[in-house]
Amino acid sequence: MKAFWRLGAFQDEGNRVDITSQSLRATCRHIFVLNLKLMVLLTIMLWFILSLFFGANYKRSFYAYRLDIDIVNLDNGPVGQAIVDSILAIPAAKTLPTWRLNTDITTLDQARDYARKYAWGVVVINSELSTSLDNALATGADYSPSAAITLMEGEGRSAIARLFVIQTAIPQMVGSVATQYAIRQLSEYQSKIDGESQSKTNIQALLTPIGWTTERVGFYSFEISPILLPLGMMAMFVCVLVPTMMLKFGSYPAYKTTKHKHIFLFLIAIILGLCLLFSLFGALAFLAYKGPEYYHLRQGLPVTGGRFFSLWMCYALTLMPMALWIKSLTILIPPAFVAIPSILTLIPNTLSGMVSIDLCPKFYIWFHGLPFYQGGVLARYIISGNYPKIGQCLGILFGEIAVSLFLLYGSTFIQPHFVHTGAVDHLGNHRGTDAYQGSQLGKKPASDTSMDRPSERLLEKGMDHTPDSDSNTVPIIDDHSLVAQAAMRNETIVV
């Protein structure tokens, strides 16, 4: 370090110019224009991302009619039929879900299973409702209004839709129907009942004939549903993305000497290893989130070895097509713009898992094909057993992996051709751009004569331990000799 300062790190300070010098204006102008172009591109990209996010949440209540609520009548009596008729008579509106009668379900357990796997929500009119209500009105028998109807809210399809539509719409509609039925029943009772029977009537059954009990079916509670999967997969993908990006700047020398298929297989092996590693961390993070309550149903089904492995592979399948896709693009993109495809890929995928596509405009239907959405649906099924779409999810994910592999193969085939023809330099800058640094990849430029100096030849021999042709000994190069040689050439050496 003493030698460094003794030689003078800033001994050429007198030959330097001010930042306002006329000679620097062309360079400064060029740098300003280059950064201005990049800022314009980033501004457009930012507006696209913000428009995508706000558009997905714009007037989502106007699309509530896309959500179907099933009505199951297990009573098969006059009271149950009156409730069904009143619900189906509710005028349709865009801000209300669509009600439909389901006659295929015959038991309460079937209704729970259906609500957990397929439905947004189910309104079950419990069996023996008409009999118990008539008995309470006629004889004064005990009657529980909350046993009349069971409301089942599905949690597996979308926590956002459940929060903003299902959780509020079902109780409001059923409460309105219950009030209408109570008023009608009271009017009929006053006109028909005599004094003796009136004394035996259960007043609670008369004034509040219809109540309900709410069940949250599907073992996937709201506290983890909207954020666990999309944000977790985003974190895993960012960890995969960083080393994948670094491969762009380190793999160009291989294009000059390595076979094309070996480059292709090497990239696949690296990306597969990264996806498996960070997806394992994601599965372990979910296991750690559940903590000691591994069998707590409100936070998913019990964690077994098979379920843990399934979640691990689900995460890996979700990351693979995105990593292969990004690598295919970044191979051909100059370094200045290498982050843009990553951002434009990551943001829509993360958004697809955080919004309810059924409550978005029709433009967002393409969200169904994104890896994060399909991987999220598959992971929700593994965690909770809700909304089984195994074939659909695996088919789309494997199809996207196949397409991404094809694109990667094409990119790794095209890029060596560009390298050999000098169309790009070792950093990926295209010829004709200001950042292009030449095509002599791995070769010493013809204009570089630094190695022709005796001291440099001596240094090269000493570092390579190559014997001199005129001697049987290896030259010994120490720090003092290097500093002395550098001082004779008016150079700076850091020791």
Q: Residue type at 440?
A: Q
Which parts of 100-194 fold into alpha helices (H)? Answer: 108-117, 129-139, 159-161, 167-192
> Torsion-angle region of residue 376: left (phi > 0), alpha (psi -120 to 50) or beta?
alpha
Answer yes or no: are the C-beta atoms of 162 and 115 closer than 8 Å.
Answer: no
pLDDT for the residue numbered 202: 74
φ and ψ of 103, to 5 deg: -100, 0
Burial class (CB in 10 A: 0-12, 13-18, 19+), 281: middle
Helix (H) and strand (E) counts for the chain? Answer: 18, 5
pLDDT for the residue numbered 293: 64
Which candidate, 275, 353, 349, places its Cα nearest to that of 312? 275
Q: Tell me the CA distances in angstroms from 10 to 14, 161, 489, one per residue in order.
A: 9, 66, 15
pLDDT for the residue numbered 452: 43
pLDDT for the residue numbered 468: 45
Q: Report d(CA 79, CA 479) in Å as an integer.
A: 100
Which candidate, 67, 298, 296, 57, places its Cα nearest to that of 162? 67
pLDDT for the residue numbered 277: 95
**Cβ-proximal residues to 112 (8 Å cutoff; 6+ apart), any chain:** 152, 215, 217
Count of residues making up the chain: 495
Which candidate, 147, 150, 149, 157, places its Cα nearest to that of 68? 157
Q: Report d(CA 374, CA 392) in Å as an integer.
A: 8
pLDDT for the residue numbered 457: 41
Which candidate, 89, 58, 426, 16, places its Cα nearest to that of 255? 426
Bridge partners, residue 154, by sequence? 217
pLDDT for the residue numbered 193: 62
Answer yes or no: are the C-beta atoms of 24 and 55 closer than 8 Å.
Answer: no
pLDDT for the residue numbered 441: 46
Query: How many C-alpha atoms does 485 have within 13 Å on its Cβ side?
Result: 15
Helix axes 339-354, 305-332, angle to 10 degrees: 150
Which parts of 291-425 fold into alpha helices (H)? Answer: 305-332, 339-354, 371-384, 390-421
Q: Residue type at 155?
A: E
pLDDT for the residue numbered 296: 59
Residues of the chain with pLDDT under 70: 1-15, 192-199, 219, 221-226, 251-253, 255-256, 292-299, 426, 434, 438-495
Q: Report d(CA 463, CA 482) in Å as an integer.
A: 12
